[in-house]
Homo-oligomer: A and B are copies of this chain.
Amino acid sequence: MLKRERQEFILREVNLHNRVLTSDLSEAINVSEDTIRRDLAELAETGKIIKAHGGALSKSFHTSFQINGVYSHDKKKSIARKAVNLIQDGMFILSGGGTTITELAKALPDQLQATFFTGSLPAAIEYIQHPTAEVIFIGDRISKNSRITIGGDAIQKIAQINADICFLGINALDPELGLTDNDWEVVQIKKAMIRASRKVVALTISEKLNTQQKIKVADLSELDIIITELAPDDPKLEPFRNAGVQIL
C-alpha cells in the first residue's frame, strides 16, 4: 500500500468513526505503528485531523473543544473591540449568536444608543445589561445546542427588519465555499439575517478560516466585512481580500 493511499484510508477512517487508534490502524494496514504515527503527524500538520495520545480525532468532532477554550478568549475580545467601532448612535443592529458576539455585547461603549435585534439568549443577556441599548428579542423555538432562536416564525420576523448592519459569529469560512455551518436550522436564521441587513459583518477567530462545514450559508460576495484577531495584512487573509471583502 502506497503512502498516499494509506493516508487517504486513514483520513476516511477518522472521518467515519470520529476517532482512530494507532494500534488498530497498524493492524488493519499491516505496517508498523511508527509508520502510522508518522502518517498521523503529517495529516495533523496540514490540519486534516487532530492528533491525540493513542490515535487521532476528526476535526469536526474536536472543534467544540478547542474553540471555547480560554486561549481564544483574548482573540475574541480583540475582535469585539474592532467590531464595536462599526456601530454608531441610532443604528439598528441584527446580531447572531456565539461567544464572539457575546464578547461584542460586553465591549459596547456605555453611552451608545442603538437598537439590537437578536435571537441569542446569551447575547441578549449581555445587551440588556447595557445602560442604554434597546433590545428586541426574536422569539420562537430555542435550539438547545446554540441557544439561539430557530424556526419559521423567527425567520418571518427577521424578514420584517431592515437593519443597518448585521454581526454574525461564524463557524467556518473558506475562500471558495464561503460561509458554511453544520446546523440546518441555524443556517436558515443566518441567511434571513443576511437578507435583512444592508451590511454584513462576519466575526471569527483565525482558526476557523479556511475550514468548511456541511451546509452553505452565504457566498463570500454576500459578506461586506470580515473581522479576525489578525492584522488586516496577514497572509492568511489574502484570499478573502482578493474576493473583494473588506478586512479589519
Contacts and interface: CB of A to CB of B under 8 A. Distances in A.
A64 interface: yes
A8 B61 contact: yes
A31 interface: no
Contact of A139 (B125, B138, B144): B138
B4 A65 contact: yes
Given A137-B149, A149-B139, A65 B7 contact: yes
A29 to B, nearest CB: 14
Contacts of A53: 2-4
Contacts of A140: 136-137, 139
B124 A4 contact: no
Contact of A142 (B57, B68, B70, B128): B128
A52 to B, nearest CB: 4
B149 A141 contact: no
Nearest to A117: B139
Contacts of A4: 50, 52-53, 57, 62, 65
A111 interface: no
Contact of A121 (B54, B65, B73, B128): B128
Nearest to A1: B19
A112 interface: no
A23 to B, nearest CB: 12
Nearest to A119: B139
Nearest 7 interchain pairs by C-beta: A139-B139, A135-B142, A4-B52, A137-B139, A47-B70, A138-B139, A2-B54
A134 interface: yes
A234 interface: no
Contacts of A8: 61-62, 64-65
Interface string A59-80: 0011011001111010000000
